[in-house]
Amino acid sequence: MDRSEILLSFLKDYRDHYLPSVSLDLVIFGFHEGQMKVLLIRFKGSQDWLLPGGRVRKDEDLNEAAYRSLRERTGLEKLFLQQFQTFGKVDRLTHFSWEETLTKMGLKEPLESLGVDIASFWSRDISVGYYALVEYTKVNPTPDIMSDECQWWDIDQVPQLLFDHNDMIRLALKTLRRQLSYQPIGYNLLPEEFTMSELQSLYETILGRKLDRRNFYKQIMNYDVLERLEKRPTIPASKAPYLYRFKKERYEQLLNEEDLSVG
């Protein structure tokens, strides 16, 4: 099949097997060399970047659709995925022509040939926003059928994206920051073993400000979610920092609990 036929077949699949009016978008965060990163895709035949996303099959749960899309873009399973907001402004997708965009991607048939009501097909989508925390070094960034590239961007270098995707990143980050006030973070963003400094650096990067070393240590130890390891990196023992790892069961317990810090 040539590209046009592939795209047409894909659109027919959407028409027949996926829910109308519903989509999902993924803000996939990674952390590398002290930098927060986000995974973006670029539409074929265009310079437009946007968040990876997908639609929901009629026979799958909404959350399954999100995990499936995440797996298809990163190659990873068993990830931390969190809904943060559902976006439903009437004008989310205006000033954007799917006909034009699909033509640039290589579609040679008019959308009418799909036999859908073109005025309503893809004209209005509610999008369920998820953020994911993934280990940067383990991700295999994989474009989807409509994109040429899939790659990591530094969070403060993200360009003007399509639709409301800059707002989505901003809101996902705000939700992630709030999460820090009632749950520990880091299980998926850091390597399996890390120093207290590396964990603090991650928090500082997410929060966008420096933290007091002693207060940070106290608060993290309060969660009782870290295991200190005997092993240290190979430098003079007196100066070597301890390595830590997360106690997985305890971490997951805290993720599901109401961590009440009032009173």
Candidates 60, 144, 167, 198: give the one binding a second copy (CB under 8 A).
60
Give alpha helix (H) positions in 163-247. 165-179, 196-207, 213-222
- Please, which residue, 236 or 263, has the CB nearer to a second copy? 263
Applying CB under 8 A, does 180 fall inside the site for a second copy? yes
Whether residue 112 contacts residue 46, with contact meaning beta carbons closer than 8 Å, is answered with: no
Q: Which of 148, 128, 125, 145 is nearest to 12 (CA)?
A: 145
Whole-angstrom distance, CA of residue 49 vs CA of residue 53: 12
Applying CB under 8 A, does 88 fall inside the site for a second copy? yes
* Shortest distance, position 46 Cβ to a second copy, whole Å: 27
Applying CB under 8 A, does 118 fall inside the site for a second copy? no
- Please, which residue, 151 or 222, has the CB nearer to a second copy? 222
Whole-angstrom distance, CA of residue 95 vs CA of residue 87: 17
Applying CB under 8 A, does 21 fall inside the site for a second copy? yes
Applying CB under 8 A, does 22 fall inside the site for a second copy? yes
- Please, which residue, 43 or 163, has the CB nearer to a second copy? 163
Candidates 4, 35, 85, 166: give the one binding a second copy (CB under 8 A).
85
Instruction: Give the DSSP H/E element, type plus range, for residue 129.
Output: strand 126-133
Whether residue 160 contacts residue 20, with contact meaning beta carbons closer than 8 Å, is answered with: no
Q: Regarding beta strands 226-229 and 243-246, do their DSSP bridges make them parallel or antiparallel, or are they unpaired?
A: antiparallel
Applying CB under 8 A, which residues contact a second copy? 19-22, 56, 58-63, 65, 83, 85-90, 124, 126, 128, 174, 177-178, 180-182, 203, 207, 209, 211-212, 215-216, 219, 258-263
